Structure formats: structure tokens, C-alpha cells
Amino acid sequence: MDIRWPNHTEAWRQWRTAMSGARMHHGWLLAGKSGLGKYDFALAAARELVAEAGVAQPAGEHPDILTVTYGPKDKKAAAAAAEGKPFELARSIRVDQIREMQRRLTVRPTLGSRRVVIIHPADDMEVNSANALLKSLEEPPVGTFFMLVTHRPSRLLPTIRSRCRILRFPTLTDRQLEEMLETSGHGGNLQTAIRAAEGSYGAALRFSGQDLGPVAEQINALLSDGDARLGGRANLAQAIGPRADRERLQAVMELAQAIIAEKVRSASNSAHRARLIEAHVEMVALAAQAPTYNFDTGLLALEIGSLLTRAAPASEQAHG
């Protein structure tokens, strides 16, 4: 099902204005948090750009739209991919992928005079990959345009950013998220998922299937009341579940980040606000570390609970 993105209106206006101009810029950054439909926009915008009057355009994969994204993790994964089997993805875009893309740019576009290269996500290019791409941005082949999907533009080389025009994608309102989730068939109580998503439809989709209501209740209780007798942490562990998989644990930590951030915005006491900010920083770090290590689910739930407890107003006296 095609998704209607209400946050794309301004991006489309700027893109189509540029297309109608005398000289279309060759490099574009599609910037905004993850889950805002930037890749969907890139594909649709690329099709508009490469289409030419009187030239039939394929309905499926387009030969003049090249997407560079995560490839197979290693040779074993590459062999599985070649056989059409499931395979593990690499965590970065590697320099050999950029060089392969550049080799394809040495020949003319297949159907018309224009071609688009989409890098998704550009944030995760290795340093050598970024340096190799920079050469193409500095001297783009005639008729070639680059669209770099980025969740964190600050991670890109300043020299790459300086050679691209930025299209910014705003977050979605709670009402827009609710309408999009209902349209896609996700009914029921969606408020926890929407709250955790912080304006990201992609995040809201992940959360909506996790039944995070009970988890949100326990997170709020720990942040409000602390946990002097450890019962709250046990309740959180039970709400998370003894056999929670990695996806659920990541969703719990992202939910905790969203709830903490909300409390930071409403905190009136400066000392309490500082503790909440520290808790948010620690939760972000824990979420980044968790996929790397084989954490025991129970221990990880306890660590999450302890981190939340330290940020509660009830913990002020205990810390002096």
C-alpha cells in the first residue's frame, strides 16, 4: 500500500521548483529523523526526474535509478544473497559499493539523459566510502544527480554537505501519526506508540506491535516514585518479558528515551532536570551498546530500571 506522507508537501514544492528551473542542482541531502519517508520521497522524486516525454518508463525497478545501501555482511552472506537466501546485512556502506556505483556511471543512462543515485542512509558510509563519493560530487557525470538520505546530517563530511542542497523533512504530529496508523490497519490504543515515536511513522509502526502500554506505566512509575524496595524494577522486568528479543528491548529503550525527554521539557526543578538529562544520555548510550553485547534480558531490564530510578525526584535525598 502506498503511504501518503503529509510532511512531504514543502519538500515536493522545493524539488519541483528546482526541476522547472534552468539548472537543476546535482546533489541533494534529504534530512530528517528516521521514519519520515525520506527514502520513499527519494524514489518517487527520482522517477519524476529521469522520466522524459515519449520514453516509456518501467513500473518496477528503474535502470537509471541506482540505490546504494547496506550490502551483505561478509562472503558467507554474499553467497546466501546470490542464492536468494536470507542473509545478514553489513552495518555500514563500504567503499567497494561506492566504487561499483562509480563504474556504472562511466556509461550513459539507459532510457534517457538523466540518472539518479540514491545513498541510503548516507550517515552510515565508512570514511573511505564518503571520500570516494566526494569525488563524484565534485565532478558529477553529465546528467547524474545524487540524493543522500540522512537521519543525522552532522555525521556527513562538511565537504559533502557543502556540495548538496538540503531538503528537510519535519516530524509528524500526533494526529497525523494516528491517522496514518489507522489507515495502515493498526487499530486499538495507539497512544503509547505515538508518544514513543516522537513524530516518526517508522518508529510508531515498530512500537504499535509491541504492546508497550504496561511498560510505559512502569517507566513512568520509576521516574516519578523511584524504587526504594526494588519492586518497581521487578515489575518493569515482568512488563518487558523474560524472553524479550532484541527488537523489543530496543523498543523499550527508545520508549524510555521519549518519556524521559518529555519529563525534561516539563521539569521545573533544575536539579531534577539535570538528572533527567543525564538519564537520557545514559539510556541513549545503553541502547547503542545493547546490540553489540549479549546482555541477559533480566539484567538488562534491571539496568534500565536502575537508570530510571536514579532520575526520580524520590532519589534526591538518597544522593544527598
Pair (12, 158) in one structural domain = yes
Which range among 203-212, 294-303, 305-314 has the greatest average pLDDT?
Answer: 305-314
Q: In what order do the strands lie in the sheet with 115-119?
A: 65-68, 115-119, 144-150, 27-31, 165-168
**Do the domain assignments include residue 272?**
yes
In terms of domains, do 272 and 133 share one? no
Three-class secondary structure assignment of the chain: CCCCCHHHHHHHHHHHHHHCCCCCCCEEEEECCCCCCHHHHHHHHHHHHHCCCCCCCCCCCCCCEEEECCCECCHHHHHHHHCCCCCCECCCECHHHHHHHHHHCCCCCCCCCCEEEEECCHHHECHHHHHHHHHHHHCCCCCEEEEEEECCHHHCCHHHHCCCEEEECCCCCHHHHHHHHHHCCCCCCCHHHHHHHCCCHHHHHHHHCCCCHHHHHHHHHHHHHCCCCCHHHHHHHHHHCCCCCHHHHHHHHHHHHHHHHHHHHHCCCHHHHHHHHHHHHHHHHHHHHCCCCCCCHHHHHHHHHHHHHHCCHHHCCCCC
- Any domain includes 201: no
pTM: 0.82
- Report how many domains make up the chain: 2
Range of the domain at 226: 210-315
Domain-located, residue 52: yes
For the stretch 185-216, pLDDT in tens is 876 668 888 888 889 999 898 888 888 888 99
157 and 294 share one domain:
no
Which of 168, 184, 219 delimits the end of a domain? Answer: 168
For the segment 81-97, what is each residue's pLDDT rounded down to a tens digit?
A: 889 888 889 989 999 99
Residues 148 and 219 grouped into a single domain = no
The residue among 137, 168, 199 that closes a domain is 168
Residue 320 — pLDDT band, cuts 50, 70, 90?
very low
**Is the pLDDT higher at 290 or at 76?**
76
> Which of 136, 168, 200 is a domain's end point?
168
Residue 173 lies in a domain: no
Indicate if 222 and 300 belong to the same structural domain.
yes
163 and 237 fall within a common domain: no
Q: Is 205 part of a structural domain of the chain?
A: no
Highest mean pLDDT out of 74-78, 226-230, 280-284: 280-284
Q: What is the pLDDT of residues 100-138, one digit of tens each?
A: 999 999 999 999 999 999 999 999 999 999 999 999 999
Residue 43 in any domain: the answer is yes
Whether residue 198 lies inside any domain: the answer is: no
Tell whether 280 is covered by a domain: yes
Peptide bond between residue 121 and the one before it cis (omega within 30 degrees of 0): yes
In this structure, the answer to whether residues 125 and 235 fall within a common structural domain is no
| Segment among 216-220, 241-245, 278-282 with least mean pLDDT | 241-245
Q: Dump pLDDT digits (tens) for 26-69.
A: 999 999 999 999 999 999 999 999 999 999 999 999 999 999 99
Question: Does residue 216 share a domain with residue 160?
Answer: no
Residues 24 and 114 in one domain: yes
Give the residue-averaged pLDDT of 264-291. 90
- Comparing 22 with 5, the larger pLDDT belongs to 5
Please indicate, yes or no, whether residues 301 and 220 belong to a single structural domain of this protein: yes
Whether residue 215 sits in one domain with residue 101: no
pLDDT band at 317 (very low <50, low <70, confident <90, very high): very low
163 and 50: one domain? yes
Q: How far apart are CA 34 and CA 12, in angstroms?
A: 18
Residue 289 pLDDT level (bands cut at 50, 70, 90)? confident
What CATH number is attached to the domain comprising 158? Answer: 3.40.50.300
For the chain, give the percent of residues with pLDDT over 70.
95
**Which pLDDT score is estimated for 292?**
64
